[in-house]
Chain A
Amino acid sequence: MSTARRSLRDLRPSTVLTTIAFVIVTALVLLPIAIIVLTAFKPAAEVNAYPPSLLPDDWTLANLKTVTSELPFARLVGNSFVFAGGVTLFALVFDSLAAYALARLDFRGRKVLLVAIIATLMIPFQATLIPLYQLVADLGWVNTYTGLIAPRAADAFGIFFLRQFFLALPRDIDQAARIDGAGEFRIFRSVVLPNAVPALLTLGLFTFVNNWNDLLWPLVFTTDAEMGTITSGLTQLTGPSGIVPHGVMMAGSLIAILPLVIAFLFIQRRFIENIATTGLK
């Protein structure tokens, strides 16, 4: 009875219109992704044909073969995983520790410190690049994973993001532990962190994606082509030397975005589940 009534209400014109609007918006939003995937499998003749078409007539692996012979792809993808994964791991630990202090501990100078940390967000990365490179070179870390990862092992965005989340957690969840005499670190680890899993997953995804996609830092920092990432490696195809065929470029792009899209689809499911089940509302 109630389900029948619900399905009747589902057919309200406004809901139908919203659904149609979402289908159109989603199709437009996914168009550039579709172009990357489909062009990667198109023969060169079709890529430059007029009128252009979305789907290839003949599917080919030629573009993927060309791009993997031009660059050490396995090595670059591996480097991307070490770089983005390492940064994510360290940043989650260090950011959540700092965010806990800023959200849930009462100490002198907390507000000033928070403003100072947020202020570092305004610093354009390009502005620090030259002194940063010199510093990392002085430490002897050029072309090492340590040098690639260490400067990103904590970031203001993550601290701010987690602080907002920790602030929203109800105060009384840690009261019981506090009365039992638990220290701050135990409250952080076994009360606050388990309640912050959706926020940690979200931040983890953002951090991983941002570093995987980062162009300037790996490009400037790694002088050894073997230490580059997939994103910085790809730009070597475009270079000023000449025009690289669209098909080859899209094949490289496909390899660069595929791990992220898969990781995202995997985390997205857990992310939604967590929001639905933790009852944080």
Chain B
Amino acid sequence: MTTAPPTGRRYRPPAPLGGRRRVDSPKRRSAIAAAFLAPALIILGLFTIWPMLSALRLSFTDASGFGEPEWVGLENYIGVFTDPDLLNAVTNTALYTVLFTPVAVAAALGLALLLNNPRLPFRGFFRTALFVPFVVSFSVAAFAWSYLVDPQVGLLNYWLRGLGIQLGNVLEDPNLAMPMVVLVAVWKLFGFYFVIFLAGLQDIPTSIYEAARMDGAGAWSRLRNVTLPMLSNTMAFVLVFAMIAALQAFDQIYVMTGGGPYGSTQTLVMEIYESGFRKLEIGFASALSYVLLAATLLLSLVQFVFFGRKEKDLA
């Protein structure tokens, strides 16, 4: 068979038999690819890239929604790095990311590994039930959780008091407000990562496990040497999305604490929203979003390089 699939990572279509239909030149291949890509690229270019470039232009002006914006050079960026509120927002965003990402990903992975046990009863029910929070909007989730931890009539507060744990007014407590808004995000989003991990687990051929078992690998060894390496693609995907979700945290904070108490839940995107829509400092807000964009890109690149290398090691 001369048309065996190529072993390299890059796929090259086999030459058409008889050469009747076409000469598969690079030019022709590019034209076909362009036709497939055009609709999506037009939408992304017009409604994401272009507004982002406009924001770049605005970030060098004193745009405020009133009158013609004037060029102010780097003033907004200097403001970003000298604003005392901003250091707080950066620290909070980092704290949120460090709390959210490992907790959400570990919960999703742990539950997916446990649910992948074929002896577990009611697997379909658990899988469905754990995903349900993902379909609830952040604003509805924020409202339900605020009611649950209400210091007077909150059911969760009441039950925890029964266990001897005094939570007090969680959303007014500078030490507890941040863990609380992170908990809401974990609750809402972990089901999404969980389902992705489950799909990844199902893609691992059972023959590999049988081979490992024959070689005398125990459960722990199979997890470490088979499951986790085979999941590295899935893991990269989930980590990147969890991290982006964390860096862009906004909705539930906006509803639950408004950035308080004492700025303890004020994140970068909250700061962007406030300077852009409350104070109408559009230029400053645009500069701020470019700082966030740069931070996100940097962290994502580090992760892609790290996981990209791991993937090559496996091949």
CB-CB < 8 A to B286: which residues of A?
A: 127, 130
Stretch at the interface among B84-92, B166-174, B198-206: B198-206
By the criterion CB–CB under 8 Å, are A52 and B132 in contact? no
23 contacts between A and B (CB under 8 A): A26-B130, A32-B148, A97-B39, A101-B37, A107-B29, A108-B30, A124-B269, A127-B290, A130-B276, A131-B51, A131-B54, A131-B55, A135-B46, A135-B50, A153-B43, A154-B44, A171-B11, A250-B147, A253-B144, A256-B140, A264-B135, A268-B128, A272-B124
Q: How large is the interface on B (under 10, 10 to 19, 20 to 34, 35 or more residues)?
A: 35 or more
Q: A47-B153, A107-B26, A113-B37 are in contact. Are A22 and B135 (CB under 8 A)?
A: no
Of A101, A128, A168, A178, the residue contacting B13 (CB under 8 A) is A178
Nearest 5 Cβ contacts at the A-B interface: A127-B289, A213-B137, A131-B54, A151-B47, A131-B51
Is B134 on the interface with A (CB-CB < 8 A)?
A: yes
Tell me the residues in window 3-32 of chain B with beta carbons closer than 8 Å to chain A beta carbons.
3, 5, 10-14, 16-17, 20-21, 26, 29-30, 32
By the criterion CB–CB under 8 Å, are A100 and B36 in contact? yes
A-side binding surface: helix, strand, loop or mixed?
helix
| A6 nearest in chain B by CB position | B119
Of B5, B33, B43, B153, the residue contacting A150 (CB under 8 A) is B43
By the criterion CB–CB under 8 Å, are B51 and A132 in contact? yes
Of B47, B136, B297, the residue contacting A135 (CB under 8 A) is B47
Is B155 on the interface with A (CB-CB < 8 A)?
A: yes
Which residues of chain B have a CB within 8 Å of any CB of chain A?
Answer: 3, 5, 10-14, 16-17, 20-21, 26, 29-30, 32-33, 36-37, 39-41, 43-44, 46-52, 54-55, 58, 111, 114-115, 117, 119-122, 124-141, 143-145, 147-148, 152-156, 158, 187, 191-192, 195, 199, 202-203, 205, 233, 237, 241, 244, 247-248, 250-251, 255, 269, 272-273, 276, 282, 285-286, 289-290, 292-293, 296-297, 300
By the criterion CB–CB under 8 Å, are A178 and B248 in contact? no
By the criterion CB–CB under 8 Å, are A48 and B130 in contact? no
| B192 nearest in chain A by CB position | A206
CB-CB < 8 A to A215: which residues of B?
A: 137-139, 251
Chain A interfacial residues counted at CB < 8 A = 105
CB-CB < 8 A to A5: which residues of B?
A: none
From residue A153, how far is it (CB to closest CB) to chain B in Å?
Answer: 5
CB-CB < 8 A to B251: which residues of A?
A: 215
Is A172 on the interface with B (CB-CB < 8 A)?
A: yes
CB-CB < 8 A to B195: which residues of A?
A: 202
Is A226 on the interface with B (CB-CB < 8 A)?
A: no
By the criterion CB–CB under 8 Å, are B132 and A261 in contact? yes
| A232 nearest in chain B by CB position | B139
Of the candidates A119, A122, A152, the one having the most CB atoms from chain B within 10 angstroms of its own CB is: A122
CB-CB < 8 A to A98: which residues of B?
A: 36-37, 39-41
Q: Complex Cα distance A159/B43, Å?
A: 12
CB-CB < 8 A to B269: which residues of A?
A: 124, 126
Of the candidates B14, B47, B55, B292, the one having the most CB atoms from chain A within 10 angstroms of its own CB is: B47
Q: Complex Cα distance A123/B244, Å?
A: 9
